[in-house]
Chains A and B, each alone.
Chain A
Amino acid sequence: MIKNPSSTASESNSLITIEPPHGWVSLGLADFWHYRDLLFILAWRDIKVRYKQTVLGVGWAILQPLFTMLIFSVIFGKLAKLPSEGVPYPVFSYTALLPWQLFAVALTTSSNSLITSGSLISKVYFPRLIIPLASVLAGVVDFAIAFIVLLGMLAYYRIIPTLNMLTLPLFILLALATALAVGLWLSALNVKYRDFRYVLPFLSQAWMYLTPIAYSSSLIPEEWKLLYSLNPMTGVVEGFRWALLGTGEGAGSMVLVSTAVVLIILISGLFYFKRMEDDFADLI
Chain B
Amino acid sequence: MSDVSIRIEHLSKQYRIGAVRQPYYSLRETLTNAALTPLRNIRSILQGVKQPAERNYIWALDDISFEVKQGEAIGVIGRNGAGKSTLLKILSRITKPTKGRAELYGRVSSMLEVGTGFHPELTGRENIYLNGAILGMRRNEIDRKFDEIVAFAETEQFLDTPVKFYSSGMYVRLAFAVAAHLEPEILVVDEVLAVGDAAFQKKCLGKLEDVAEGGRTVLFVSHNMAAINRLCSRAVLLNAGKVVEDGSALEVTAKYLSGAGEESGTRVWDLKNAPGTEELKLISIKLLGEAGKPVSVVDVRERINLRIEYRVNKPGLRFRCALLFNTQGILAFATLEPTELIRPKEGTYHSTVSIPPNLLTEGEYLVGVSIFNSSGGKMHFVALKDAIVFQVYDSMTGLSARGDYAQNLAGVVRPLLNWEGGIVDAIPPTVDS
Binding site for B on A (CB under 8 A): 1, 3-4, 7-8, 11-21, 34-35, 37-38, 41-42, 45, 48-49, 52-53, 119-126, 192-194, 278, 281-283
Kindly specify which of B114-122, B219-227, B232-240 makes contact with the partner chain. Answer: B114-122
Kindly specify which of B88-96, B166-174, B322-330, B377-385 makes contact with the partner chain. Answer: B88-96
The CA-CA distance from A124 to B190 in the complex, in Å, is 12
Given contacts A17-B102, A34-B136, 4 further A-B contacts (CB under 8 A): A18-B104, A124-B92, A124-B110, A125-B110
B residues in contact with A124, CB < 8 Å:
92, 94, 110, 112, 116-117, 134-135
- Let me know if B79 is at the binding interface, CB within 8 A: no
- Let me know if B283 is at the binding interface, CB within 8 A: no
Q: With A11-B106, A41-B133, A120-B117 in contact, do A18 and B94 touch (Cβ < 8 Å)? A: no
- Mark out the residues of chain B between 86 and 145 whose CB falls within 8 Å of any chain A CB in the assembled complex: 89-108, 110, 112-113, 116-117, 119, 121-122, 126, 129-130, 133-139, 141, 144
A-B contact pairs, 13 of them (CB 8 A): A4-B183, A8-B107, A11-B107, A16-B103, A20-B100, A20-B101, A35-B133, A38-B136, A49-B121, A53-B121, A122-B94, A123-B112, A283-B23
B residues in contact with A8, CB < 8 Å:
106-107, 183-185
**Distance in Å: Cβ of B203 to nearest Cβ of chain A:** 13
B12 nearest in chain A by CB position = A20
B116 interface neighbour in A12, A21, A119, Cβ under 8 Å? A119
Q: B97 and A20: CB pair below 8 A?
A: yes
The CA-CA distance from A192 to B91 in the complex, in Å, is 24
Q: A7 and B141: CB pair below 8 A?
A: yes
**Distance in Å: Cβ of B20 to nearest Cβ of chain A:** 7
Q: B95 and A282: CB pair below 8 A?
A: yes
Chain B residue total in the interface (Cβ 8 A):
55
**Distance in Å: Cβ of B206 to nearest Cβ of chain A:** 10
The CA-CA distance from A55 to B137 in the complex, in Å, is 35
The CA-CA distance from A13 to B183 in the complex, in Å, is 14
Q: With A12-B106, A37-B138 in contact, do A18 and B116 touch (Cβ < 8 Å)? A: no
Q: With A17-B102, A124-B94, A192-B23 in contact, do A281 and B89 touch (Cβ < 8 Å)? A: yes
**Distance in Å: Cβ of B428 to nearest Cβ of chain A:** 40
- Let me know if B211 is at the binding interface, CB within 8 A: yes
- Let me know if B419 is at the binding interface, CB within 8 A: no
Q: With A1-B210, A20-B97, A37-B139 in contact, do A15 and B89 touch (Cβ < 8 Å)? A: no
**Distance in Å: Cβ of A249 to nearest Cβ of chain B:** 44
B136 interface neighbour in A35, A121, A123, Cβ under 8 Å? A35
**Distance in Å: Cβ of A264 to nearest Cβ of chain B:** 26
B94 interface neighbour in A7, A16, A281, Cβ under 8 Å? A281
Q: A12 and B101: CB pair below 8 A?
A: no
- Let me know if B1 is at the binding interface, CB within 8 A: yes
A residues in contact with B135, CB < 8 Å:
124
A residues in contact with B23, CB < 8 Å:
192-194, 283
A4 nearest in chain B by CB position = B183
- Let me know if B15 is at the binding interface, CB within 8 A: yes
A192 nearest in chain B by CB position = B23
